[in-house]
């Protein structure tokens, strides 16, 4: 339980009544997950290897229909990273306000984790990374172009500790992973799909649509396609043994906690059991994986909101992390909540509402007011037809079914918007409306095609599109059909041309074929890899005509033996941040 950080080591020599001291130098004391007395003790050796010593990680993204992943270079043992992580502690608000008290708390992983969750974002304290979710990243780097934490942390120090532009959730989570692993706290990244941002702490998120089916940017609540946070492993002497283990920390600046943008540590067991009155920030994290959704139709003429429907099982799906010792996805949803739809899950939800003093407030999933009692006359869904790839036309099928034994006339207003991964609409790319007659119990399919030429210039670097159909049923309630689409980038291939040996040059070739029938320009290849090359290699690649293949060669000199990861990121004017990684056995 000693305070972590930099120590001076001095030897005192006393002989025949006189004494002299000699300064032997400095050392840095870290948390020790291998030591059974330590708060961060992790009994499983393979987990210590992965969650403390491993410098490479896999981060999951996309959406619940279509999970994808990319590599990340945490690089916690690379040059100067330890010094920078100690600087993060010394530049925190707590240290600036009262250095002695701050340092005296640094024996405690929950204190250090909470301080770093504030310092990784730049809000409040000139921390490491400035967030930007606008879709416009001028004046900085697009969040999806980073491939590792090292460059970000080095840039922060080099600029005189000015926030690095720009980050989004996985960048904050990855940088926090680097800092915590560097200090000896076992840490991993977690991706939650259909993640709720419940701004008003009522365990419910509200979404608003207009009569044309446009998803409106109204209200502070939102449902993100995915959100990435961290789990760190340590004991919770403040809460008791049943809350020891994985603790949720989140450095993405979403809501203030005690007046500062930080989040956690919240015991994962407390989240699962609905004990959301325990420290820290449990209600927000509970909502991220459990909130109920309310979908409203907003009428701008009178400012009236009409509830269309509510759902209690869509939030918090496929909660994912990288497997120990492998690049596979492991699903940890059951560690956050009981099975959706089970009575136990609803009981925990009610318990959480009670702890927040919400039991008397309108609960859409319990007491159903009249407007929800009315059953919809039709159902609808979007099906994907064909491949979901940037550069190809987007083909969908809207399936509408009449659930009644009467004829139904339906006016369908459809829109498609480019979005960022938080589902914030950025630009309309397509709209259409159609009037449909459905015989009793009839199902009809309507093919939709959104050509590449229509969405190409408005697509964000997240490659995400939200398609909605608002169905106005004559004499019935409105039905909202929506789907979030994530398009895949084309592939890129990495070839190592020869044996990788310690301190010897070896050639690497990166191959990319332009898959679209127009020229791509402004092509840049970015390469990094801990113990394979120093810093970041950036190579300008000539423009590629339609169907043309580029082969880009460069040299690496491995500086350590073992399994190492090379990460590449290829960008051009038509494709943003195509990522690949390769394991190289040195």
| CATH number for position 202 | 3.90.260.10
Report the distance separating Cα 322 and Cα 69, nearest Å: 10
- State the average pLDDT over residues 313-340: 97
Q: How confident is the model at residue 217 (pLDDT cuts 50, 70, 90)?
A: confident
180 and 261 fall within a common domain: yes
Residues 397, 527 within the same domain: no
In a domain, 8, yes or no: no
What pLDDT shows up at residue 344?
96
Average the pLDDT over each of 100-114, 299-313, 506-520, 563-577 and give the range with the smallest value.
Answer: 299-313
Amino acid 419: pLDDT: 96
Q: How far apart are CA 137 and CA 254, in angstroms?
A: 19
What is the reported pLDDT for 370?
A: 45
> Which range has the top average pLDDT, 16-25, 186-195, 370-379?
186-195
- Domain-embedded: residue 444: yes
* CB-neighbour burial class of residue 13 (10 A; exposed 0-12, middle 13-18, buried 19+): exposed
**Looking up tokens 């309309």, which residue turns up?**
428
- Sign, CA dihedral 306-309-310-314, equals negative
User: Which among 486, 510, 533 is the end of a domain?
Assistant: 486
- Residue at 10 is within a domain: no
pLDDT of residue 364: 53
Closest CA to 393 of 424, 416, 412: 416
For the annotated binding site, the residues are 290, 292, 340, 345
Asked if residue 13 belongs to a domain, the reply is no
Question: Which pLDDT value is given to residue 369?
Answer: 46
What's the maximum distance between 2 C-alpha atoms anywhere in the chain? 109
Predicted confidence band at 17 (pLDDT cuts at 50, 70, 90)?
confident
C-alpha neighbours within 13 Å on the C-beta side of residue 2: 10
Please, what's the b/e burial string for 443-461 (b: 16 or more CB within 10 A of its CB; e: otherwise)? eeebebebebeebeebbbb
Lowest-confidence segment of 8-12, 17-21, 502-506 by average pLDDT: 17-21
Of the residues 437, 458, 486, which one is the last residue of a structural domain? Answer: 486
Q: What is the pLDDT of residues 547-562, one digit of tens each?
A: 999 999 999 999 999 9
* Cα gap 209→414, rounded to integer Å: 12
Residues 444 and 501 in one domain: no
Specify whether 238 is located in the same domain as 128. yes
159 inside domain: yes
- Nearest residue to 88 (alpha-carbon basis) of 43, 62, 137, 125: 125
Cβ contacts of residue 111 below 8 Å, gap of 6+? 105
pLDDT in tens, 123-133: 989 999 999 99
Could you tell me if 336 and 286 are in contact, meaning their C-beta atoms sit under 8 angstroms apart? no
Same domain for 560 and 469 = no
Same domain for 472 and 438, yes or no, is yes
Q: Model confidence over 66-101: pLDDT tens digits?
A: 999 999 999 999 999 999 999 999 999 999 999 999
Tokens of 190: 């977690």
pLDDT in the model for residue 218 = 87
Which residues are the active-site residues? 169, 227, 250
Mean pLDDT in residue range 151-169: 98
Q: What is the mean pLDDT of residues 328-340?
A: 97
Cβ atoms of 215 and 209 closer than 8 Å: yes
Residue range 451-507, pLDDT digits in tens:
999 999 999 999 999 999 999 999 888 999 999 999 999 999 999 999 999 999 999
For residue 365, pLDDT beyond 80: no
Span 516-536, average pLDDT: 96
Q: Is 181 a residue whose pLDDT tops 60?
A: yes
Q: Is 100 exposed, middle or buried (0-12, 13-18, 19+ CB in 10 A)?
A: exposed
36: in domain: no
Q: What is the CATH number of the domain that holds 544?
A: 2.60.40.10
- What residue numbers bound the domain in which 498 lies? 492-585
Give the pLDDT of residue 358.
87
Task: Tally the domains of the chain.
Answer: 3
367 pLDDT tier (thresholds 50, 70, 90): very low
Q: How do strand 549-556 and strand 425-438 relate by DSSP bridges?
A: unpaired
Percentage above 90 pLDDT, the chain: 93
Mean pLDDT of 182-201: 96
State the DSSP H helix or E strand holding residue 269, giving kind and residue range, or none if neither: helix 268-273
Task: Give phi and psi for 184, each to the nearest 5.
Answer: 95, 10
Query: Cβ distance 316 to 364 under 8 Å?
Result: no
Last residue of a domain, one of 437, 462, 486: 486
* Higher-pLDDT residue of 341, 224: 224
| pLDDT, greater one: 370 or 337 | 337
Give the mean model confidence (pLDDT) for residues 497-526: 97
Is 371 a member of any domain?
A: no
Q: Are residue 124 and residue 220 in the same domain, yes or no?
A: yes
Rounded to 10°, the helix 109-119/169-182 angle is 140
Angle at CA 319, nearest 5°, toward 313 and 324?
A: 160
Confirm whether 22 is domain-assigned: no
- pLDDT greater than 90 at residue 107: yes
The residue whose two tokens read 């209690």 is 312
Rounded Cα–Cα distance for residues 309 and 206 (Å): 11
237 pLDDT more than 70: yes
Closest CA to 115 of 314, 251, 17, 309: 251
Q: What would you report as the CA-atom Rg of the chain, rounded to the nearest whole angstrom?
A: 26
d(CA 206, CA 223): 9
Q: What is the mean pLDDT of residues 299-310?
A: 91
Q: What is the pLDDT of residue 363?
A: 57
Task: Please check the confidence at residue 236 and state whether its pLDDT lies above 90.
Answer: yes
Token reading at 234:
């340590």
Statement to judge: residues 70 and 214 lie in one domain: yes
- Is the previous residue joined to 166 through a cis bond, with omega within 30 degrees of 0? yes
State both tokens at 380: 């609808």
One domain for residues 174 and 295: yes
Say if residue 368's pLDDT is above 60: no
Burial class (CB in 10 A: 0-12, 13-18, 19+), 74: buried
pLDDT at 374 over 90: no
My answer on whether 259 and 397 are in the same domain is no
Mean predicted lDDT score pLDDT of the chain: 95
Q: Are strands 245-249 and 256-257 parallel, antiparallel or unpaired?
A: unpaired
User: Do 430 and 546 fall within a single domain?
Assistant: no
Using the 8-state DSSP alphabet, how is residue 570 labeled?
Answer: E
- If asked whether residues 59 and 163 sit together in one domain, one would say yes
């Amino acid at each position: 339980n000693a305070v972590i950080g930099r120590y001076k080591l001095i030897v005192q020599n006393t002989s025949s009544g006189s004494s002299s001291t000699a300064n032997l130098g400095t050392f840095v004391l870290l948390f020790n997950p291998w030591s059974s007395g330590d708060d961060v003790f992790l009994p499983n050796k393979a987990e210590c290897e992965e969650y403390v010593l491993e410098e490479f990680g896999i981060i999951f993204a996309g959406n619940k229909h279509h999970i994808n992943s990319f590599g990340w270079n945490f690089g916690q043992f690379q040059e100067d990273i330890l010094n920078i992580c100690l600087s993060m502690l010394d530049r925190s608000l707590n240290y600036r306000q009262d250095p002695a008290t701050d340092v005296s708390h640094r024996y405690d992983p929950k204190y250090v984790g909470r301080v770093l969750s504030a310092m990784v974002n730049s809000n409040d304290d000139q921390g490491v990374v400035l967030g930007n979710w606008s879709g416009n990243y001028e004046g900085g780097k697009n969040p999806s172009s980073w491939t590792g934490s090292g460059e970000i942390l080095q840039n922060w120090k080099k600029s005189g500790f000015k926030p690095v532009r720009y980050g989004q959730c996985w960048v904050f989570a990855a940088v926090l992973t680097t800092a915590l692993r560097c200090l000896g706290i076992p840490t991993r990244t977690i991706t939650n799909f259909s993640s709720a941002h419940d701004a008003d702490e009522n365990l419910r998120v509200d979404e608003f649509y207009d009569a044309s089916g446009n998803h409106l940017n109204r209200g502070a609540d939102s449902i993100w396609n995915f959100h990435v946070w961290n789990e760190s492993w340590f004991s919770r002497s403040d809460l008791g043994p049943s809350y020891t283990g994985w603790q949720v920390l989140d450095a993405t600046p979403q809501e203030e906690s005690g007046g500062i943008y930080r989040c956690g540590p919240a015991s994962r067991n407390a989240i699962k059991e609905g004990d959301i009155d325990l420290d820290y920030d449990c209600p927000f994290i509970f909502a991220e994986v459990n909130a109920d959704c309310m979908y409203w139709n907003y009428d701008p003429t009178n400012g009236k909101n009409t509830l269309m429907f509510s759902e209690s099982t869509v939030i918090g799906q496929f909660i994912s992390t990288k497997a120990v010792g492998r690049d596979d996805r492991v699903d940890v949803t059951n560690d956050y909540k009981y099975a959706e739809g089970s009575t136990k899950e609803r009981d925990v939800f009610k318990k959480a509402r009670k702890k927040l003093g919400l039991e008397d407030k309108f609960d859409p999933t319990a007491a159903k007011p009249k407007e929800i009692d009315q059953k919809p006359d039709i159902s609808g869904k979007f099906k994907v037809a064909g491949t979901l790839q940037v550069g190809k036309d987007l083909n969908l099928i809207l399936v509408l079914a009449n659930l009644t034994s009467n004829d139904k006339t339906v006016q369908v207003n459809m829109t498609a918007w480019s979005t960022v991964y938080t589902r914030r609409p950025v630009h309309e790319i397509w709209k259409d409306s159609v009037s449909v007659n459905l015989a009793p119990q009839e199902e009809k399919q309507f093919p939709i095609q959104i050509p590449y030429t229509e969405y190409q210039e408005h697509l964000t670097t997240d490659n995400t599109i939200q398609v909605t159909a608002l169905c106005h049923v004559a004499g019935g309630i409105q039905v909202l059909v929506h789907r979030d689409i994530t398009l895949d980038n084309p592939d890129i291939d990495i070839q190592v041309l020869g044996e990788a040996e310690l301190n010897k040059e070896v050639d690497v070739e990166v191959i990319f074929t332009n898959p679209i029938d127009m020229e791509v320009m402004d092509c840049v290849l970015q390469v990094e890899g801990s113990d394979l090359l120093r810093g970041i290699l950036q190579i300008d690649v000539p423009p590629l005509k339609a169907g043309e293949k580029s082969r880009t060669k460069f040299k690496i000199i491995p500086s350590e033996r073992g399994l190492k990861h090379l990460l590449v990121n290829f960008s051009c004017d038509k494709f943003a941040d195509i990522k690949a990684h390769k394991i190289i056995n040195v």
